[in-house]
Amino acid sequence: MDLITENQHEIIEEFEMFSDWVEKYDYIIELGKELPALDDKFKNDDHLISGCQSKVWLQAEMNADKVRFTADSDAIITKGIIALLIRVWDDQLPADILKSELSFINSIDLKEHLSMTRSNGLLSMIKQMKMYALAFESQKNVANL
């Protein structure tokens, strides 16, 4: 089992411990609070994810061939959601991020418990993270020509 799949299984197991969505939301909020702080220099329009109702800033960089993500949001649940995505994809190869499927989202019924605007925001966050991975993978491929 690859690391991305393992990360998703851990999240699914953690969410199975909770009996209702009030507890699950509390857990998502806690994950957001534990997310390492994003440097204020990245809280600008260049790092703002469009399509989110709340403000979400995402920064990515390559470190030893792997993508490192940091993020922040002005909404506590949204910050928890981006923390979940980072937990799955942080410190992974760009190619692995691009080919991965985020099965945990359906397994924990996350989309069903989000408002339409938050659900659209989730899709925007996923799209932006994959765009970073695509850009890094393209840079690597160009460098290898």
- Report the alpha-carbon distance of residue 74 to residue 87 in Å, rounded: 19
Query: Quick check: is 52 catalytic?
Result: yes
Residues in the chain: 145
- Please state the φ and ψ torsions of residue 52, each to the nearest 5 degrees: -100, 140
The upper half-sphere exposure of residue 113, i.e. CA atoms within 13 Å in the direction of its Cβ, equals 16
From 4, 11, 49, 52, active-site residue:
52
- Report the alpha-carbon distance of residue 50 to residue 57 in Å, rounded: 9
Nearest Cα residue to 37 out of 52, 59, 62, 53? 59
- Report the alpha-carbon distance of residue 94 to residue 140 in Å, rounded: 9
Residues marked as catalytic: 52
